[in-house]
A and B are shown apart, each in its own frame.
Chain A
Amino acid sequence: MTSTTLALRFTATARLRRLALVAALTVLGAVVTAHGELLALAAVPLVLLAARPRRALPTALTVSVALDPVRCVEGDQLRLTVHVELPDRAVDRVEAEVDLPGRTTAVPLEPDGGRASGWTVVPTRWGRHRVGPLRVRVVAGGGLYVAPLVLEVGDVVVFPAAAALARAVAPRELAAPLGEHASRAVGSGVEFAGVRPYQPGDRRRDVDWRTSARHGDLFVRQYAAERAFDLVLVLDTSTDAGPPGSSTLDLTVRAATGLAQSYLRAHDRVGLVTFGGPLRWLTPATGPRQLYRVSDALMSMRPDATERDAGDVGFGLADLPRSMLPGRAFVCVVTPLLDDRPLAAVRLLLDRGFAPLVVDVLTNEPTLRRRRRERARDELALRTWRMHREALVGELAGLGVPVLEWDGEGDLTGALKHAMRAGEPRVRT
């Protein structure tokens, strides 16, 4: 918490001017009409004005503002505390309010020592947001003077809430030699893969005595090799459709965060490519640092209308470095499927030998206008739009690409597993 001492510059309030007006009118009336009893009315404003001279006002104020924490996840609670110090309490009251970023709620903190001293701030949308400024209003001199102050609070980084993913599932065909996923190759893992006849050199502890007794010959157990998994998330950032908080971009970011978290936790390598807006990529890597890199890249994702409207530029995916899309990597394309560009991206990936999975994050349809004439036109447009989307999904299915619909609520694990199997018919079931 940093303290800042600020000079107070008071200005007269409407109350001061009105009291002076009443006093002047009354004294003038008493003098003009020579009615001394009218001075009783003038006594009220005169005493109020005389009791609070300007020189008695405080000259400075010390304000401390703290926002904790400054990095959080959507829906987390932040504490914004304000502490005000005055040499003497020569003020009537000090009020404070804070400007909040969009889709952020705030409730006053529980009073501590009789007075609330801040707010509980809950940001509900990911991104880098500016909290503040804090506007302080010092009322002094019996409400005759007011001094406004403006104080910066700070930025808060709100990470997207991760999509629910119970565990990281992976196809059986895995390339990387070290990892935690059981592959179809036989190796030194812990998952049982089958039995085979004993050969000289096999370890004695691998002998399966029950099978050996049944067949009258020695058999040994085999285990699945544990391999790592390369996941490349290809995100369509061309459009942000739908209500804030559950828009296509919000769901895209949450799905990507959930997938990246789950697979990085399982020591897999995760890479990221965004298209539709500026082409950005993050080479697949593993470890906690990669999670921060992915989160950081996701935070800067915003639709770029200029590039989107620049025509079909192939999304630049064809120009990606080879290391960006390693062989046998599993590619997950997260897109709202609002135009043909994701289809072009999928075709490109298929040409390069990948079997991508498409996660469709569009949950809302366009709303129709109310007026009858416009509504009829809108309904026709909506039907055409639906047909176009169906055709798009049909074409993807024709290419053998599974399309997984995700509304931001369900667990992605089961659907992802199913889609991986559908995409790779060679995997063991």
Chain B
Amino acid sequence: MSPLPSRAVVRDVIDRLTVVATVSAGVAVAAVPDLRRPVLTAGGAAVALAVGAAVTRLRALGTLAVALTTSSVLLAAALDASDLRPVQVVAAGVLLLATLAALERTETPLGRRLGATTPLVVLRGPAASRLGVAAAAVGASALVAATAAQTVVPSVGLVLGGLAAAVAALVLTTRAHRDEPAIDGPDVHESLSGRVPGDGQR
């Protein structure tokens, strides 16, 4: 078996460094300009977990790192909302997305498995649809942040309405990803053995 290509090793190292860098940047965005002990503690733990996830490739560590990064932003806002400007929140969201992408690449087994070919991308969807959704998400985040920064007359109804809308969005989104019943169709083994007539075999 040929040795692992050096390009794959370099890419893997870059992905691991990206995990640590994006988590550190997310924590830094949350922590500045006013350094507070709870935020620093949560942020420090997030960075430590990110290093652990980058080294061990353990999914659980990666998930904890993401959760703690999010928590450090939440803590910063909860302790003093004036410290966190809208651009910081949006930047934290973008960095979280980058962390998720880097974590995913790091957790994927490196290069080829023993005794197998190099994984090959035989089909790729249009880039516009992939990037379009991410851009829309960041745009929506910016819109919400800008709206939240407006000076409006505070009213209980407004606050409650906004929060109820957020909760409703969360519930609806979760329902959109609820596990559906199994699809009625040939499973892999049936198809391969040719026991299912008319399953598309030509």
List A residues at the B interface (Cβ < 8 Å): 2-9, 12-27, 29-31, 33-55, 59-60, 62, 82-84, 86, 89-100, 102, 105-106, 108, 115-119, 135-137, 142-144, 149-152
Contact = CB atoms under 8 A, between A and B. Distances in A.
Given A95-B119, A100-B115, A144-B177, 19 more contacts: A2-B202, A4-B191, A4-B201, A6-B188, A7-B186, A27-B170, A31-B166, A37-B86, A37-B145, A45-B137, A60-B185, A62-B200, A82-B120, A89-B123, A92-B125, A94-B123, A97-B118, A100-B116, A108-B120
A36 B125 contact: no
A22 B96 contact: yes
B137 A48 contact: yes
Contacts of A48: 97, 133-134, 137
Interface stretch (B17-25, B33-41, B44-52, B100-108): B100-108
Interface string B151-187: 0000000010011001101101110111110110111
B173 A46 contact: yes
A116 B130 CA distance: 21
Contact of B124 (A16, A50, A60, A115): A115
B72 to A, nearest CB: 11
Contacts of B27: none
17 contacts: A29-B78, A33-B78, A34-B163, A37-B148, A40-B145, A41-B73, A44-B140, A50-B172, A52-B133, A89-B125, A94-B122, A98-B116, A100-B115, A117-B122, A144-B177, A150-B192, A151-B192
Contacts of B92: 41
B187 A41 contact: no
B159 A34 contact: yes
A30 B163 contact: yes
B3 interface: no
A18 to B, nearest CB: 5
B192 to A, nearest CB: 6
B90 A40 contact: yes
B-side interface mostly: helix
In the complex, which range does the number of interface residues on chain B fall in? 35 or more
Nearest to B142: A40
A118 B136 CA distance: 35
B185 A31 contact: no
A59 to B, nearest CB: 6
Given A5-B199, A9-B183, A48-B133, A54 B178 contact: yes
A86 B96 contact: no
B23 to A, nearest CB: 13
Contact of A40 (B89, B103, B185, B202): B89
A144 B177 CA distance: 10
A176 B9 CA distance: 65
Contact of B117 (A30, A40, A62, A100): A100
A7 B186 CA distance: 6
A93 B202 contact: no
B84 interface: yes
B11 interface: no
B34 to A, nearest CB: 16
Nearest to B164: A31
A157 to B, nearest CB: 20
B180 A54 contact: yes
A119 B59 CA distance: 32
